[in-house]
Structure 1
Amino acid sequence: MKSFVHFLFILIAAYVAGMVLPWWSVALVAFLVTLLMPLSPAKSFFSAFLSIFVLWMILAFYTDVRNDHILANRMSEMILKVRSAPLMGVVSAFLGALVAGFGATTAAFLRATKKPANKPA
């Protein structure tokens, strides 16, 4: 349940931040949400990764349908040397998801190092 709330907060906050901030704001959002809602490093990575992957796939699909697949097809021909609009969406969503996952993992490791050590008496 905690992972789902983490997932949802990152998804919503990244969408809002994406309206006014650059693309790399997903790392900042994932970092801040993970600082506020601590999870283990692995869970925080996969939660942030999946959240941004889903968000960017939805946004890529919506944009691609609105412009009749023209931009994504041309970009995929130029970058991937294959004419495939969905593949371009997957590649861009994967890269954004990696950035967010690493941001969340950084916050999880930062919280892990800040824990007070139990000192024996």
Structure 2
Amino acid sequence: MKNKIVAALLAFFLGIFGVHKFYLGENLGGILYLLFSWTFIPGFLAFFDFLGLLLMSDQAFNAKFNPGIPYSVLDGSRSAQDITVALSQLKKLYDQDAITAEEYEEKRRKLLNEL
């Protein structure tokens, strides 16, 4: 899961080399920033990337760079439906012997305490 603050800090301090682009999964952009870093143009562009990342809402950032992760999981609040889905996934892991009985019970209790 990508973090907006980390991406903004990478853009500010290492943006001339395109590190923030690689972090955000924009590898082509990262390669271009790296190839043209000697011209200092990527450093100028990275400053605007930095400002854009800071001004972007958390919801817009997560929609663009963390697709497929429900926003309720990212902000820490879970609905009853999310917990039910998590419990069924946990049960599947237990049935496949991917986790022990102790791990299953511990995680199940944590999920049920969130209700």
TM over 0.5: no
TM-score scaled to structure 2, two decimals?
Answer: 0.31
Tell which structure's C-alpha radius of gyration is larger. Answer: 2
* Higher normalized helix content (fraction of residues): 1
TM-score scaled to structure 1, two decimals?
Answer: 0.30
Of the two structures, which has the highest relative contact order with CA contacts closer than 8 Å and spacing of 6 or more?
A: 1
